[in-house]
Amino acid sequence: EAQVTQNPRYLITVTGKKLTVTCSQNMNHEYMSWYRQDPGLGLRQIYYSMNVEVTDKGDVPEGYKVSRKEKRNFPLILESPSPNQTSLYFCASGGTMNTEAFFGQGTRLTVV
């Protein structure tokens, strides 16, 4: 079964404490991306990766890092989280040109 797996699903953390949200896909997709979803703003792309070791900024990259050391994994790193990064985060796999993206279940992050 095609899957995009994110962990954790829910996370409450304190300002400044580094965290990583993992994302893994089993579809052998080259393209992966991270979005954040905020009420009234829809989904906005944070970072994307065209392939292993190839990453680039999306629309809202400030405060985030990513890495792509393996094709299947694309972790999102918040080195010093702040309250304005409280959001619902989605990892997506695939979705280039005329193909649809597959989304993970989401990670609800609260930074206090």
Partner 1 sequence: AQSVAQPEDQVNVAEGNPLTVKCTYSVSGNPYLFWYVQYPNRGLQFLLKYITGDNLVKGSYGFEAEFNKSQTSFHLKKPSALVSDSALYFCAVRDRAGYALNFGKGTSLLVTP
Sites of contact with partner 1 (CB under 8 A): 4, 31, 33, 35, 40-45, 48, 50, 58, 90, 95-98, 100-106
Closer residue to partner 1 (CB): 14 or 41: 41
> In angstroms, what is the minimal distance from the CB of 52 to partner 1?
16
Which backbone phi and psi does 84 adopt, to 5 degrees?
-75, 0
CB of 80 to partner 1, least distance (A): 27
Distances (CA, A) of 43 to 14, 81, 84, 92: 24, 19, 15, 11
55 vs 80, which CB is nearer to partner 1?
A: 55
Q: What angle (nearest 5°) sits at the alpha carbon of residue 57, between those of residues 23 and 102?
A: 35
Nearest approach, Cβ of residue 4 and partner 1 (Å)? 8
Nearer to partner 1, 85 or 89 (CB): 89
Count of alpha carbons within 13 angstroms of residue 63, beta-carbon side: 15
